[in-house]
Amino acid sequence: MTTSAQAAICYGRDKPFAIEAVTLDDPRADEVLVRIVACGICHTDMAVRDAQLPTPLPAILGHEGAGIVERVGSGVNHVKPGDRVIMSFNSCGHCPSCDIDKPTYCYNFVPENWIGTRTDGSHTTHQGNAGVNANFFGQSAFATFALGHARNVVKVPDSAADVPLATLAPLGCGLMTGAGAVLRSMNVRSGMPIAIFGAGAVGLGAIMAAKIAGANPIIAVDVHDSRLALARELGATHTINGKTDDAAYQIRALCPQGLGYAFDTTGINKIIEQAFDLLAPLGIVGIVGASSRADSLTFNEASFMGGGKRVMGILGGDSDLVTFLPDLIQHHLAGRFPHEKLIKTFPFDQINEAFHAGESGAVVKPVLVMPS
């Protein structure tokens, strides 16, 4: 038996998403069929649409899904039909990174998430007899149903029964990345200064987490005043518009001893190198922004070594889904992680409008809501 669904097919940069009928396989032993209720839109979806990642097009994208479990494979025990779940990235569970609960650095990340099929090359999704590229981040949740896996489907705790799935959906990627970078990767110390470059979903997630960690001051740098206002509302103690002000000069004035932490979400190498120059001894510059594959960074060796400084590449905020997503939900319930302020919902059939709103900067975190 298969499951019929409506899915938004991505045909590439210059073509709109088209909502079409597809069929999904029955879940295999380690798979979970989820009726999708909502799915966030993230910059990685845009990067795939623009052919910057290896996922072959056309494909069903969407990797911040949330919904209700419909059916589970014979080997899945941690969720059951009817459970409310969040979906995130997939991982193999048997490599040196997965072995130490650092699945964002899974040695098999690309085949588990980005090749359009299961790791054995089979399609999860079809149109007639033809396979459709899916299994994106082990889900492909721009659809009314998605096939996830035991390792990337996380049960929503009962304490969050009243929180809408449209609010919970975007926790599984960008917000988790920003918050995890601060709380897990860099493990920000209370009372230490941090500057966050870029106040999109990832940067704002980092600002909320920096407040939770007790960082001080928390300096947000962006080029949009509306985002800086939101940054202030969410915990930034100081904001700098990098377009009109000299950010480095202002940060030096605020933190004459240097920054304990700098967090870059822009991927702009000039900003990263400048952030490195602003570090205090033992300072860390954490990098999540994607640069061009051809780019390299340049640092002064004496300053790097002599100051015991660290340049840290970060993927997914070093998140271990099983522990960190429930942690974030608890922070949300306690009012410490009010990420609902970033969200605007769109009906599924307005996916093209929702992408536009995300790219123009009008909305920080567009979330699609599926028809019930």
d(CA 1, CA 244) in angstroms, rounded, equals 59
d(CA 46, CA 355) in angstroms, rounded, equals 8
Q: Where are the alpha helices (DSSP H) in 133-268?
A: 165-168, 174-180, 201-213, 225-234, 247-254
d(CA 29, CA 72) in angstroms, rounded, equals 8
Which single residue is written with the structure tokens 């990420």?
339
Using an 8 Å Cβ cutoff, are 195 and 221 in contact?
yes
Question: Residue 299 burial by CB count (10 A; 0-12/13-18/19+): exposed, middle or buried?
Answer: middle
Stretch near Zn ion under the rule CB under 5 A, chosen from 93-101, 158-166, 255-263, 301-309: 93-101
Which single residue is written with the structure tokens 């590229």?
133
Min. distance of Cβ 265 from Zn ion in angstroms? 12
* Residue in 38, 106, 188, 236 binding Zn ion, rule: CB under 5 A: 106
Question: Toward Zn ion, which CB reaches closer, 41 or 218?
Answer: 41
Crossing angle between the packed helical segments 269-277 and 247-254, to the nearest 10 degrees: 20
Number of residues that bind Zn ion (CB under 5 A): 8
Min. distance of Cβ 219 from Zn ion in angstroms? 25
Stretch near Zn ion under the rule CB under 5 A, chosen from 89-97, 118-126, 253-261, 288-296: 89-97
Min. distance of Cβ 174 from Zn ion in angstroms? 5
Residues 26-45 that bind Zn ion (CB under 5 A): 42, 44
Q: Where are the alpha helices (DSSP H) in 90-200?
A: 96-99, 109-113, 165-168, 174-180
* Residue in 47, 92, 248, 312 binding Zn ion, rule: CB under 5 A: 92
Min. distance of Cβ 95 from Zn ion in angstroms? 3
Binding map of Zn ion across residues 145-184, x = CB under 5 A, - = no contact: ----------------------------x-----------
Min. distance of Cβ 326 from Zn ion in angstroms? 19
Question: Toward Zn ion, which CB reaches closer, 175 or 219?
Answer: 175
Min. distance of Cβ 42 from Zn ion in angstroms? 3
Pairing label, strands 130-132, 125-127: antiparallel
Min. distance of Cβ 106 from Zn ion in angstroms? 3
Question: Toward Zn ion, which CB reaches closer, 235 or 358?
Answer: 358
Residue 68 in contact with Zn ion, rule: CB under 5 A: no
d(CA 41, CA 204) in angstroms, rounded, equals 16
- Size (the chain), residues: 372
Question: Toward Zn ion, which CB reaches closer, 9 or 106?
Answer: 106
* Residue in 95, 115, 248, 333 binding Zn ion, rule: CB under 5 A: 95
Structure token pair of residue 195: 């500057």
Min. distance of Cβ 269 from Zn ion in angstroms? 22
Residue 98 in contact with Zn ion, rule: CB under 5 A: yes
Stretch near Zn ion under the rule CB under 5 A, chosen from 103-111, 249-257, 311-319, 320-328: 103-111
d(CA 21, CA 33) in angstroms, rounded, equals 17
List interacting residues with Zn ion (CB under 5 A).
42, 44, 91-92, 95, 98, 106, 173
